[in-house]
Amino acid sequence: MSRLPRWVGGVGSGLIRLAERLDARKAAAEHDTAPAPEAEAARATAPDRAPEPAAAPVPAYEPGPGDPPGHGHVASPVMAMRPDPVAAVPWGVRVAAEVGWRLLVLAGTLWVLMRVISAVRLVVLAFVAGLLITALLQPTVAWLKRHGVPRGVATAMTFVSGFIIMGLVGWFVVWQVTENLDGLSANVQHGITDLKQWLLDSPFHVTQDQINNIADNLSKAIGNTKDLTSAATEGVQVILEVLTGILLAMFSTLFLLYDGPRIWSWILKLVPAAAREGVAGAGPRAWTTLTAYVRGTVIVALIDAICIGVGIFFLDVPMAVPLAVFIFLFAFIPLVGAVVSGALAVVVALVTRDVFTAAMVLVVVLAVQQIEGHVLQPFILGRAVRVHPLAVVLSVAAGSMVAGIGGAVVAVPLVAVTNTVVGYLRAYAKENAARARLDVSPEEAAAVASPPPPPPSSP
């Protein structure tokens, strides 16, 4: 036991001597590397002397994938000088990539939205029809409320009277068709006979065998029992879907007429707070555009139906009133509806009267459509809902591909409303930018964003 303290004391004295030796070596190294005073003075008195080259940078000491913590490998100087891969990509390629993936996201979102709309197409079309009917009937409710009628009573009166009028129009069309069906069949048979004779005598070199083959093919297509059965089944399904859509449209119209402002306030609560002000300003303008479109389309369609119906009546074409009603209904499909309804009137005149009467009906239809396109629509609809004809054609085609006739009807008002909303949001963003840049009131920012037109120049 007496040896243990002696051994510990020996270890302690050895450690002390080792520390003294290390301190002495460190002091000697600092003395050797320190510049001499004479050299410092010579360097200070020689300003024209070129500076000494800087020492080469020491390569970074980076850990390798298999090195333990605290160890590593020396990075290559070439790798340290290599540029960032992102900086090596050209600016145009980067912009195209940024735009491309955003377009892919938008296209995917649009595709999913179209799939959802196709899955619930009946509900969407019924609601949109209710929205269009509400835009047509809402001014009447507002007029009754301004004259002291309670909101519930005004809504009920407008709703009942509006759907009664639409029901009477449908009943009148059906009644006229059934009343004139027998006479129309006889006229059609007589007209087909005259058309055959005209084709045989025409310079088109149509033979009797060709006409007989066409008639046989039509008879086989009509007389196929299997096709008739499947067509009847599909007809029953279509009738059920139409009745369901009418009921949904009626309920949508009723609630939109009565609780429209409350529904709009609830929708605004779902919008993020940062965009709520812009959406709140775009909503009334979109509704004004939709109301103007529906009201103007109804007036234009009514004028077209009356003018073409009167012309058909004086030309002694059968079923002039039902044809006028069909022209009124098809007028809600821009461009395409006018062509289809006009062609229907010409065909009826051709098979029931003669070629001259059909040509006169065609002249009447074309004249009314020219007046509509160049006078009625610019004057009644105005610039608020003016859409380029190319946009009208493309929207009608896309709407018909997505949802048939219903999609073709709602395509143009949707495009008109979207145009109004986008224009307002663009002006709103410009106004906010001007307000933030100038730190002025909203009125002054609006004046800066949309300055007044210059005064007219003197002649």
- Whether the pLDDT of residue 286 is over 50: the answer is yes
**pLDDT tens per residue, range 302-353:** 888 888 888 888 888 877 888 888 888 888 877 777 788 888 888 888 877 7
Confidence of residue 112 (pLDDT cuts 50, 70, 90): very high
Tell me the mean pLDDT in the region 49-75.
48
Instruction: Provide the residue type at 196 as one letter.
Output: K
- What average pLDDT does the segment 159-167 reach? 88
Tokens of 394: 């493309």
Q: Which residue has the tokens 């529906």?
A: 294
Q: What is the pLDDT of residue 54?
A: 47
| Cα atoms found within 13 Å of the Cα of residue 95, Cβ hemisphere only | 3
Q: What is the mean pLDDT of residues 288-303?
A: 86
pLDDT of residue 108 exceeding 90, the answer is yes
pLDDT at 20 over 60: yes
Q: Residue 457 pLDDT > 60, yes or no?
A: no
* Structure confidence by residue, pLDDT tens digits, 189-211: 666 666 666 666 766 666 667 66
Q: Which one, of 356, 341, 353, 348, lies nearest residue 308 by Cα?
A: 341
Confidence grade of residue 271 (pLDDT, cut at 50, 70, 90): confident
Q: Which amino acid is at 241?
A: E
Tokens 């139409």 — which residue? 242
> What would the pLDDT profile of 405-435 be if each residue is shown by its tens digit?
777 788 888 888 888 888 888 888 888 777 7
Rounded to an integer, what distance in angstroms lies between the CA atom of residue 396 and that of residue 333? 8
Q: Residues 13-18: what's their mean pLDDT?
A: 69
Which pLDDT belongs to residue 162? 87
Share of the chain above pLDDT 90, in %: 3
**Cβ atoms of residues 417 and 288 within 8 Å:** no
Two tokens, residue 369? 């459509």
Question: Does the structure show a pLDDT above 80 at 388?
Answer: no
Nearest CA to 164 out of 250, 277, 71 is that of: 250
Question: Tell me, what's the pLDDT at 104?
Answer: 94
Q: What is the pLDDT of residue 225?
A: 45
CA-closest candidate to residue 188, choices 196, 28, 87: 196
Helix extents (H) in 180-272: 181-201, 208-223, 225-270
pLDDT above 70 coverage of the chain, percent: 65
- Averaged pLDDT, 154-160: 90
pLDDT of amino acid 103: 93
Residue 212 CA to chain centroid, in angstroms? Answer: 50
C-beta atoms surrounding 9 within 10 Å: 10
Structure-model confidence comparison of residues 194 and 54, the more confident one: 194
Helix axes 273-314, 336-352, angle to 10 degrees: 20
Q: Which sign, positive or negative, has the C-alpha torsion 52, 56, 57, 61?
A: negative
pLDDT of residue 119: 83
Buried-exposed string 38-75: b where 16+ CB fall within 10 A, e elsewhere: eeeeeeeeeeeeeeeeeeeeeeeeeeeeeeeeeeeeee
- Residue 384: what residue type? A
3-state secondary structure (DSSP) of residue 105: helix
Average pLDDT score over residue span 261-282: 86
Contact present, 295 and 136 (Cβ < 8 Å): yes
Q: Is 227 a residue whose pLDDT tops 80?
A: no
Confidence of residue 37 (pLDDT cuts 50, 70, 90): low
Any idea what the Cα angle at residue 350 is, between residues 344 and 351, rounded to 5°? 95
Q: What's the pLDDT band for 235 if we cut at 50, 70, 90?
A: low
Look at phi and psi of residue 169 and say left if phi exceeds 0, alpha if psi is from -120 to 50, else beta: alpha
Q: What is the mean pLDDT of the chain?
A: 74
**298 vs 12 pLDDT, higher one:** 298
Q: How many residues are recorded in the chain?
A: 459
What is the predicted pLDDT for the residue at 232? 53
Task: Record the tokens describing residue 310, joined without a space.
Answer: 């009167």
Contacts for 293-299: CB closer than 8 Å, 24+ residues apart? 293/135, 293/381, 293/385, 293/412, 293/413, 293/416, 294/132, 294/135, 294/136, 294/413, 295/135, 295/136, 295/139, 296/377, 296/380, 296/381, 296/382, 296/385, 297/331, 297/332, 297/381, 298/136, 299/376, 299/380
| Whole-structure pTM value | 0.63
d(CA 342, CA 338): 6
Please say if the pLDDT value at position 439 is more than 70: no
**What is the structure's pLDDT at 208?**
67
DSSP codes, 135-193: HHHHHHHHHHHHTT--HHHHHHHHHHHHHHHHHHHHHHHHHHHHHTHHHHHHHHHHHHH
Return the higher-pLDDT residue of 2 and 153. Answer: 153
Q: Cα–Cα distances in Å, from 226 out to 78, 213, 235, 283, 359?
A: 80, 22, 14, 52, 39
